[in-house]
Structure 1
Amino acid sequence: MPKCELTHSNQLHQLLVSVSRHLYVQKNGLLKYQQKPLDVSFSNLKKSRKEHLVYYILRDALSGTFFLEITTSQAMIPLLEFLCLAWEKGPGKYIWGLPEQLSIPKGLAVEELREGLDALGVQVVLPASGFAAGVRVIRDIEDCLCYLMGRMSDHRPQVLNTRCKDKLYDYLLGLNHDEQYNKYEKWLGAIPEQGIRDVPDRETILLNFQETDEPVSGVLWLKTKKKMRFKVPTWEGDTWPLFDQDRYYRADDLVCDAYDIADRDVRIKYAWDALEISPYCVDAFNLLADESDLLDEKISFYDKAVCAGRLILGNEYIQTNAGHFWMIIETRPYMRALRGYADSLREAGRIDRAIDIYWELLRLNPNDNQGNRYILSACLLEVGRDQEMRLLMARYGDENTCFIAYDKTLWTYRVTGGANERSNMMLQEALGSNQCVPAYLLGEKAIPWRKPNYYGMGDENEAIIYASHSRKAWEQTPGALEWLKGKRVSSA
């Protein structure tokens, strides 16, 4: 490819299709990373017994912005379908429009493709090297993908397009940075005066291309009517299979074993294996949610866990046994799912929905072995639902814990008009329940990112957990932190 000076966006696009040499699909449908590079390329892909991850990339040579599709060697995307997807304008896209030139690797530049592109007014150029073709972006994508997989628990290849691509774009395109480092902004700023070339509709594009007799490079079709789809788990379909109790118990035993395993990847594998045995295994969904650091993924798995739990127990069982849950062993997976779901919704800012679930948990188990009343109290204070707080305190307000003592003190400060004899007395009682709390509420000590797994009454771990729940409510209450600081000093 002769060198040319790049002056504007969509002057030259680079088409890349690459087989991963490190990521492949296991028999259970999950991706696995192999550190030693696999000896695989398009030339020998048909001979491979593995299902490999495949990247389709269209990159703007000037700005570096790109469009990405991720699939596998058993669900390849026809080249024309990918180009149509890449050139169309749509939500979540950071490049669109026909280019003046398209760089195509020599192995893909068949005559039928070149003639069709020429009819669209797109000049085909052949890169002189992998560097000129923009192959460095493949390494960057795979490195970022492996990092994200370390935070996820759903390693199915079809999920990467829905859950990972936005995060890949954010990081690799620098979308949260200024124009100097933001490749998309650079692309927008370099659009020529005549604007972006319009893209014909798909039918018009396809008419310009003749079908090849053989796949390109032995595996890639230029265009085909054959649709290749990923396997969809039973719990992602419109209807769930019939419940089988024996299979459910087998799956549940497998998840119980998983919790005793130190290796995270093995724990995740056990959870997926359990769902293959029975999609009603609530604790398998709970485990996958617990293992994920991505909030949207957590919410998705807890949602499935709650759905599975309701299907197993049934509405009649839930209504009949409401008030005695948790003491009935078979209800505990469902209760864990509800709690995890509520916590995740709260973290995502969907606090009203979270409050509804915390109330439901207390209805099912008023004895509250899970400590749901503490989180609910913090939520009610945070959104100012004082009447509901009154109901909660009427039920649990006599409890001698720092969680109730401090939240009840803050609520009293609010509803009685600030510092007065009653609120001052309650604050002294709260300080007596745990003297470590003020330092975390006042910001004198930082709340650790990773919360303690256990605590004792009056100790620092209890203070950390309380402050992580309720600090926002204290900060939102005018004068409350100043009042707390003054009373702590006077009582010292």
Structure 2
Amino acid sequence: MHRKLVSEYSNQLHQLLVSVSRHYYFGNDGYLRYQKKPMDVDLKNSFKSRKEHLVYYILRDHYSGTFAFRIASTKRLLPLADFLYYAWSEEKTEEKFIYGMPDALFVPKTVATDGLFTALENLDIMPLHPPSGFASGVRIFRDIEQLLSYYLSETVDHRLDGVDKLCSKVCQYLIDSGKLFEKWKESLPREQHPRSVPAYDDFIKLFNTVDAGPFSLVQGENRRNDNTILELKLPPFDREKLDRAQEMIYDAWEEMSRSKRLSIARKALLLSPYCTDAYNLLAEHSESSEERMELYERGVKVGRQVLGDSFFEENAGDFWGITKTRPYMRALAGLAECLWDNGHRQDAIASCRELLRLNPNDSLGIRYTLVNYLLAEGMNNEADEFLSEHNEATCFMLYSEALLSFRCKSARKAAISLNKALEANSFVPAYLVGVKYIPHIVPETYSRGSEEEAIIYASASLSAWRVTPSALDWLATRANYQRVRRNS
């Protein structure tokens, strides 16, 4: 039997783990692929493989189990020195759940070199080979890969940089579920830990050795590019390629299969990274609000490049009527929604105003969104002015007018406004006051006075009603409903 290894406090002993995934690899298009049958690949033979395999880097505290986690690929490795600095430094502590150098570090033989051991000793860290029978980390790799698969199903940017952004979510879930970070903090010796790492340049110099082995210790030719999607360098613009890519997106919209739509959008971007509607399509299929916003930002950026600044000056007011402006308009509308959902509310309002400036006819119905944003932000004067400019007898504007009247005007005017709104659509109060649930999937189409229209309005405006004291109670009373209070 192997003796059980016991550590006495946090940061006494860390374990370095580096492993090649046996299921995930990157295709020729740069996007992650999954192979159900395990591939015969490991650290020793991965460089002989024709595939670009996913690589996991883990630095784990032996006492608490908390860890730092990053990914790379066999063709774009993360240097070990960079990973160790990331794991031990106090930078970006909101994204990782361990910091400070340990007393000792277990180093797997597959990445161990004399140079690495020398660098660790110079940092006063005892480098050790794991004893026979020491936990290999198989379980944590399994848990990480299962959770990573789940998050991949929610996102669409499955390039290396996109997948790397999921690392903090994976860490947080696994660490929070076992309260590992709390255990780590509570068990740190106050006088000894956490031990701070040297400045980055000084730290890296210690690892600048000649015997780095296949897994580079410091920056080299195979180091990956950490640029975000917004910082990618674009090739020269080619109108013919963009037109072909746009035709591909038209085909993708007709596809019933989500995976096929995403595949077509990715191919369209490979053909022309200026295809705004490809970013729009990817954003629409992402369940990550951060990723959606990033994709729409990219769509807005390239869309403006394609049209050109002079085009905006010459054609403001006629957008949407000019077909080639529509991808940009769709991207800006999507971005406004994402900005609002991610807490950038004034930016969202500014984006809505820009959409209306470019297209006063408002083919996208942005005026209904904007009035709710103004009310939710308590911008009553702006909302009053906006409603005066858009005086129309629609459910969306009449209920907004009723809410504003309740806030700022007399009870008589509020009652008159609400009566007009009820005449336009009598289904709305039931969804606002909680008698009926607002469905998770909001209808895409509606007719005036319909229940579908009521659902669309209630879904978009509920936050504005909720932030207005007593407004929902007033609405319930006037509409003869018993208000139902539900958790937000």
> Is the TM value for this pair above 0.5?
yes
Tell me if structure 2 keeps the 8 A contact 1:235–1:279. no
Aligned positions of 1:1-150 closer than 5 A:
2-92=3-93, 93-128=96-131, 132-150=135-153
Give the Cα separation in 1 of the matches to 2:435 and 2:259: 38
The count of corresponding residues between Structure 1 and Structure 2 is: 478
CA distance in 2, matches of 1:228, 1:56: 14
**Paired residues of 1:14 and 1:133 also in contact (CA < 8 A):** no
Higher mean Cα deviation, 124-133 or 226-235?
226-235
Structure 1: which 5+ runs fail to align? Answer: none
Q: What amino acid maps onto 1:187 in structure 2?
A: W
2:469 counterpart letter in structure 1: P
Q: Is the 8 A contact 1:103 1:126 kept in 2?
A: yes
What is the DSSP-based 3-state SS (H/G/I as helix, E as strand, rest coil) of the residue aligned with 2:19?
strand
1:389–1:16 CA distance, 2 compared to 1 (3 A): same
Report the Cα distance in structure 2 between the residues aligned to 1:440 and 1:44, rounded to whole angstroms.
Answer: 60
RMSD: 2.6
CA distance in 1, matches of 2:369, 2:204: 57
2:175 is aligned with 1:173? yes
Preserved CA contact (<8 Å) 1:8 1:62: yes
1 CA distance for matches of 2:212 and 2:206?
18
Question: Mapping of 1:182-261 within 5 angstroms?
Answer: 182-196=179-193, 197-201=195-199, 211=209, 213=211, 215=213, 219-223=214-218, 225-226=220-221, 228-230=223-225, 236-237=231-232, 240-261=234-255
Partners in 1 of 2:198 and 2:392 — Cα distance? Answer: 71
Q: Identify if the C-alpha distance between structure 1 residues 328 and 78 changes in structure 2 by more than 3 Å, giving closer, same or farther.
A: closer
Which has the higher mean CA deviation after the structures are superposed, 37-46 or 104-113? Answer: 104-113
* Shift in alpha-carbon separation, 1:261–1:393, aligned structure 2, 3 A: same
TM superposition shift of 1:312: 1.8
Give secondary structure in 1 for the equivalent of 2:375.
helix
Pairing partner for 2:327 from 333, 350, 355: 333
Query: Do the aligned partners of residues 261 and 130 (structure 1) sit closer, same or farther apart at CA in structure 2, a change above 3 Å counting?
Result: farther
Helix, strand or coil at the partner of 2:56? strand
CA–CA separation in structure 2 for the residues paired with 1:392 and 1:12: 63
In the aligned structure 2, how far is the partner of 1:81 from the partner of 1:477? 51
The secondary structure found in structure 1 opposite 2:154 is coil
- Pairs within 5 Å for 1:459-474: 459-474=450-465
Contact kept? 1:381, 1:411, Cα under 8 Å: yes
CA distance in 2, matches of 1:291, 1:16: 34
Q: What's the offset of the Cα at 1:246?
A: 0.8
Identity %: 42
The answer on 1:364 being equivalent to 2:362 is: no
Cα deviation for residue 138 of structure 1 reads 1.1
Deviation digits for residues 175-209 of structure 1 (CA, Å, limit 9, x no counterpart): xx7xxx32111101000132313434556656666
The residue aligned with 2:402 is 409
Query: For 1:388 and 1:156, how far apart are their aligned partners in 2?
Result: 43
Unaligned runs of 5+ in 2: 482-488
**Cα 1:22/1:445, change in 2 over 3 Å:** same
Q: Residues 65-105 of structure 1: CA distance to partner in whole angstroms, max 9, x if unpaired?
A: 11112110012233334323322221233212222222222
From the superposition, tell whether residues 413 and 199 of structure 1 become closer, same or farther in structure 2 (CA, over 3 Å): closer
Cα separation, partners in 2 of 1:116 and 1:360, compared to 1, 3 Å: closer
Change (3 A) 1:363 1:223: closer
| C-alpha deviation, 1:394, in angstroms | 2.2
Asked if the contact 1:86–1:96 (Cα under 8 Å) also holds between the matched residues in 2, the reply is yes
Q: Which shifted more, 374-383 or 194-203? A: 194-203
Task: Quote how far apart the aligned CAs of 1:159 are.
Answer: 2.6
